[in-house]
Chain A
Amino acid sequence: MKKAKPDLLHGTLDLLILQTLGPGRMHGWAISKHIRQISQDVLEVNQGSLYPALYRLEKRGWIEAEWGISPAGRRAKFYRMLPAGRRQLALEGRHWREFSAAVDRVLGVSGNGAVEAT
């Protein structure tokens, strides 16, 4: 059995997607793979959440989608951050760091152990 992975906290997926799209445009599969790799296989983005999240972000005007050609030469839908998304990223990033620091303080963590996921 694979190691159980922590559920993504509500709202963090949007943050992860926006962060991933920071440098440039990317298609859905690449986004999920990027998050998995960067988090060293800890964070697995469920496809069932990824695409609804992408459409949601698109609807809010934070990212936009366009059809392009993938590096492998196939037609793929690419997502790109919009200015509103950049502002949102900055805002949510700050919230997350405050939140995470607060949780750390409550748990008295000094860096000597991983937080157990519930």
Chain B
Amino acid sequence: MSRRLRRVLHILLQKDSVEREMDEEMRFHVDMETEDNIRAGMKPRDARRAALLKFGGLERFKEEARTARGGRVVGDLWWDVRLAVRGLRRSPGFTAVALAMLALGIGASTAIFSVVDAVLLRPLPFHQPDRLVQVFETHMAQGWDHFAFSQMNLLDLMESSTSFEAIGGIRGGTVNLTGDGPPARIGVSPITPNFVQMLGVKPVLGRAFRDSDLDGWDARRVVMVSQATWTSRFGSDPAIEGRVILLDGEGYEVVGVLPEAEPWLRNELYTPLALNPESNRDNHFLAVVARLRGDVSLQAAQTELTPLARRLTARNAPIDEGMGFQLEPSSTWAAPDDLRRSLWVFMGAVGFLLLIACLNLANLLLARVAGRRRQVAMCMALGAGRGRVIRQLLTESAVLGLAGAILGIGVAQLGLYALVALEPGEIPRLEAVQINGPVLLFTLAVALATGVIGGLLPAVRIPFRGLGATLRDGGRGGVGGRSQARLRSWLVAAETALSLVLLVGAGLLVRSLIAVQTVDTGFDADNRLTFEVNLPDSYTRAGSRAFREEFLSRMRTMPTVQSAAAVHMRPVDGGNTVMSLIPVGETIETFGGAVSADWRLISDDYFQSLGLSLVEGRDLSHEIPGEGDQGMGGPMEVVVSQSLAQAIWPGESAVGKHAQLWVTPDRVGTVVGVVEDMRERGPGQDETRAIYLTYNLDDWSPVHFVVHTTGEPRAALQPVRAMLAQIDADLPMSGVRTMDEMVRSSTASRRFTMILLTVFAGVALALALAGLYGVIADSVSQRSQELGVRVALGATSPDVLGLVIRQGMVPAGAGIAVGLVAALALSRVLRSLLFGVGATDFITYAAMGGILALAALLACWLPARAALRVDPVTALREE
């Protein structure tokens, strides 16, 4: 045993000396034979030639001797690879086509996988992230299953629940930063003081917040700065700790620098959030994150929360009627649901693409093996075993796979550049996506799998017959045989089916995008400039009103401005405020549940500025009715949208009706007008029920402005900016967008998904058609004699053409049928990405099936024409 082990080691480690010994032994043999021949009377030169002839090819015997020695895996592999490379170089056309296909398939999957790896698979930047959960309020009567928390409910949850080690809240906001360069409006996230510690994120510099930071708030305010802001705004100042910055005119002491930690810590500044136990329970704006205690499972915590929510709602009725709490594991944080779904759809699509490339490779290799049957038979006649031949063929396809991977990495890099350029900014960290270690491993595995799977089928299909049989019946050039042709047809059918699934998916997305782009949004987006102005706390309700009136009246004097208006949240931008309401004189019970509506504070001319018309009644008077000014706490005038009017007062005129806003008896809204509906949240969303109040009720900041211009809206920007500076030089203007831009960017991620899937489907189609073309072209060249005989016997051109085309269209047709069924089953995963079209949309399926059938017909017809050029005389003579 040890002798044998030593021998194997000796052979493995000293390949060269073993080779030399073998050479020497063989040479010795030939020399001895030569001398023998000379002694028998031959001339020296003849003697040597005879000896060599008798011995046969030296290399061949060395190879056989090598096999017999065994223990030569490494050496043999190298030998196989050398043979494979030599074989591939001898047929550059085949190699180029195969490599191009593999590079596309592997490149596309590598690019998408690198994004999936970076966005979905990388661990969250928190301590033990699997113990973290997000908590939502649910109000199922209104259909809200992921609702923001009110401060009161968060306080209740902190007090009553036992499942959590820590519970924290975070909200979003903005402040005006002054004193460091020109005034800027930057993002700030108030967080509960325990928030950073709960996540397990370490500050880069300084410390996280403490509960004591909230004591004596007016005397000493503190702030944390994000690492990015520290770098960009404060030049990575190492002495930032203790520095005081001006936010909305107040001094804040910087206590620390926080690293970015998606998805929670990605704002510019953080301030400690004090939860107000006196606050309005109806005001929901907090995101709540919690860390599960010890070994409490998410299910156990959920079980605790359900009765707890019921107890709370019983106590606080009628507010929060029917409220529940819903836990979501942190695994959902890596990316929003839509994005995650899109990414997996992309991953599935490139998987299909890769499979098609794999089948195509098998197809090409089959054709190649058919042409090499005599070579294989010769090898076997010379003593190569079946296993040896299969190994050689697999090595060849594995070498192809690896070379394809190297090219594919290049393709993937280019693909990533294209992705970064095309992607509308929905995918976090996309610029940072790299082809790194794990991705390279993935590529390597994919390449080897593709090569081996693609090569296995042809390898085991080799006709292992003796040299004689092959040479006898292959005399006219080695036809692949019937079963070979049938196998290739099956491969083409599978490719057709796979590409049809992708085509249907892409078709559905194209139809959705067209639907989104042609949908009537209700508002008019042409020539509308919008921007925000953030007002610091020093602007009280009166100050805010005075500012708006002054600014609007100045803008309206400009000749290029047709109308201008203010709103507390502009359409399509993503922000929203929601209230629930019931008619006066009803309760939630008697009315059968409250109706929810998006509410907006607006100035005069708002409807006009958006191109909305009043259907009934009049616009708001912007006066506050009732005795004494109670702001949003008392009676108000409202304008409602048509759909809201329908929902509350079906079949009646809403004008003059009264509603309890926020389901509060004191807050009575009197309907003075009804306005057209619009798709407030953008063209890809449904029309929303809306209720409009006068901005004069509140000091809501930031204020959004919508300016309807004559001609190019951005041309008005400079003069408008100057007017703003004249009113208050410390007010920053931010978020400058035209309505057109906002509408376009609201469909950008839809367009991106559509483009990507269409590209994949196009490549898949091209690959499948190339496979079909190849099969028909080979078949025509192999059947030329048969076709010649048919022509000689009187077959007409259409007969011959039909014969050949049928051979291609039968598998293509089968592929289309299977593909349609598979698409019906798989298109379900696209449902949430669709708009205005069903996942089983007949037109899309019919169109894509038709396109594929026509393309397949073309791919058959082009090579089939060669069959018409067969000269029966030549064909028969060859026979």
Q: Which residues of A contact B (CB under 8 A)?
A: 27-30, 33, 47-48, 51-53, 55-56, 58-59, 61, 67, 70, 72, 74-77
How long is the Cα–Cα vector from A61 to B3 in the complex, in angstroms?
A: 9
Q: How far is the CB of A53 from chain B (nearest CB, A)?
A: 7
A29→B64 contact, CB < 8 A: no
On whether A74 and B68 interact (CB within 8 A), knowing A47-B61, A48-B56, A61-B4, the answer reads: no
Residue among A53, A67, A74 making CB contact with B31, cutoff 8 Å: A74
User: Total A-B residue pairs with C-beta atoms closer than 8 Å?
Assistant: 60
Determine the residue in chain B with the shortest Cβ distance to A44: B54
Most B Cβ at <10 Å: residue of A27, A29, A58, A59: A29
Knowing that A56-B68, A74-B31 touch, tell me 14 more A-B residue pairs with CB under 8 angstroms: A27-B28, A28-B25, A28-B28, A47-B56, A48-B61, A48-B64, A51-B61, A52-B61, A52-B68, A55-B68, A59-B70, A61-B3, A67-B21, A77-B28
A29→B3 contact, CB < 8 A: no
Q: How far is the CB of B349 from chain A (nearest CB, A)?
A: 51
On whether A47 and B36 interact (CB within 8 A), knowing A52-B65, A55-B69, the answer reads: no
Return 26 A-B CB contacts under 8 Å, by A number: A28-B25, A28-B29, A29-B33, A33-B32, A47-B61, A48-B56, A51-B25, A51-B61, A52-B61, A52-B68, A55-B65, A55-B68, A55-B69, A56-B68, A58-B69, A59-B69, A61-B3, A61-B4, A70-B28, A74-B28, A74-B31, A75-B24, A76-B28, A77-B21, A77-B24, A77-B25
Determine the residue in chain B with the shortest Cβ distance to A76: B28
How long is the Cα–Cα vector from A61 to B4 in the complex, in angstroms?
A: 8
Q: How far is the CB of B510 from chain A (nearest CB, A)?
A: 64
How long is the Cα–Cα vector from A70 to B60 in the complex, in angstroms?
A: 25
A67 surroundings in chain B (CB, below 8 A): 21
What is the predominant secondary structure among interface residues of chain B facing chain A? helix
From 58 to 75 in chain B, residues with beta carbon under 8 angstroms from any chain A beta carbon are: 60-61, 64-65, 67-71
Counting CB contacts under 8 A, is B733 at the interface?
Answer: no
B28→A29 contact, CB < 8 A: yes
Residue among B35, B54, B67, B383 making CB contact with A47, cutoff 8 Å: B54
B28→A52 contact, CB < 8 A: no
A47→B29 contact, CB < 8 A: yes
How long is the Cα–Cα vector from A47 to B65 in the complex, in angstroms?
A: 10
Counting CB contacts under 8 A, is B417 at the interface?
Answer: no
How long is the Cα–Cα vector from A55 to B63 in the complex, in angstroms?
A: 12
A48→B68 contact, CB < 8 A: no
Q: How far is the CB of B645 from chain A (nearest CB, A)?
A: 94
Q: How far is the CB of B28 from chain A (nearest CB, A)?
A: 5
Q: How far is the CB of A83 from chain B (nearest CB, A)?
A: 13
Q: How far is the CB of A27 from chain B (nearest CB, A)?
A: 7
From 13 to 52 in chain B, residues with beta carbon under 8 angstroms from any chain A beta carbon are: 21, 24-26, 28-29, 31-33, 35-36
Q: How far is the CB of A24 from chain B (nearest CB, A)?
A: 18
Counting CB contacts under 8 A, is B217 at the interface?
Answer: no
How long is the Cα–Cα vector from A56 to B67 in the complex, in angstroms?
A: 9
A48→B31 contact, CB < 8 A: no
How long is the Cα–Cα vector from A33 to B126 in the complex, in angstroms?
A: 80
Q: How far is the CB of A70 from chain B (nearest CB, A)?
A: 8
How long is the Cα–Cα vector from A96 to B200 in the complex, in angstroms?
A: 81
Q: How far is the CB of A36 from chain B (nearest CB, A)?
A: 11
Q: How far is the CB of A38 from chain B (nearest CB, A)?
A: 16
How long is the Cα–Cα vector from A47 to B26 in the complex, in angstroms?
A: 9
Determine the residue in chain A with the shortest Cβ distance to B67: A52
How long is the Cα–Cα vector from A75 to B20 in the complex, in angstroms?
A: 13
Counting CB contacts under 8 A, is B464 at the interface?
Answer: no
A70 surroundings in chain B (CB, below 8 A): 28
On whether A51 and B26 interact (CB within 8 A), knowing A61-B3, A74-B31, the answer reads: yes
A51→B65 contact, CB < 8 A: yes
B29→A29 contact, CB < 8 A: yes
How long is the Cα–Cα vector from A57 to B813 in the complex, in angstroms?
A: 58
How long is the Cα–Cα vector from A55 to B7 in the complex, in angstroms?
A: 12
Counting CB contacts under 8 A, is B55 at the interface?
Answer: yes
Determine the residue in chain B with the shortest Cβ distance to A56: B68
Q: How far is the CB of B721 from chain A (nearest CB, A)?
A: 89
How long is the Cα–Cα vector from A77 to B28 in the complex, in angstroms?
A: 9
How long is the Cα–Cα vector from A53 to B24 in the complex, in angstroms?
A: 18
Q: How far is the CB of B467 from chain A (nearest CB, A)?
A: 15
- Mask of B465-501 contacts with A, CB within 8 angstroms, 1/0: 0000000000000000000000000000000000000
